[in-house]
A and B are shown apart, each in its own frame.
Chain A
């Protein structure tokens, strides 16, 4: 399967600042990348889907202007949380899939965001 990394693994920021999270597919051409958020003791909630070179598709209820997603290459997608607030504190996980395996997602290790 694919090896996926995320950076940073954890971040603490002040309310009102923006935070960028990177998701890299290290050995896999990721035509599609996904961003999830996970609250404590809960399942994953899909935020958005991005295809390389295209605009992301956001799930209902996810603010596009708050969670900016860029998928500029087959190996890198970024999630920027703009003007972060404490309620944005969560565990953010990315996953990838590609032409070689369209029905299997490979997940990154996650990024813990804490907004003070």
Chain B
């Protein structure tokens, strides 16, 4: 069965320090993987996606994620947090490439402290 696990429901970092949001997935096939961000009362914005090209994926706003097949992980990182990064982050897997159905993680709320 396909699944996504976001290991931390809440993460707090100080402004200017690195961000690490963890995501592990389970998929029988070679999946497409995504990170989305959701600010309060807003829709989801695509940060980045992995679709079997380079394993290190660069996204918007300085975020990047590394696909590690051996660890079935797709952790999201950013070198230096900004106050505007405070939001909910969702790791998503589309288990079978070329299909549309998403499996969502439970989300990680990122808090950035001044």
Query: Residues of A with Cβ closer than 8 Å to B?
Result: 1, 4, 6, 32, 34, 42-44, 46, 49, 91, 93, 95, 97, 102-110, 112
Tally of contacts, chain A with chain B, CB under 8 A = 53
- B residues less than 8 Å from A1 (CB atoms): 46
Residue of B nearest to A1 (CB): B46
Chain B interfacial residues counted at CB < 8 A: 23
Q: Check if B100 sits within 8 Å of A105, measured CB to CB.
A: yes
Given contacts A43-B106, A103-B51, contact A109 B100 (CB under 8 A): no
By secondary structure, the A interface counts as: strand
Residue of A nearest to B104 (CB): A43
Q: Check if A46 sits within 8 Å of B100, measured CB to CB.
A: no
Q: Roughly how many angstroms separate A43 CA and B104 CA in the complex, as a whole number?
A: 7
Q: Check if B100 sits within 8 Å of A97, measured CB to CB.
A: yes
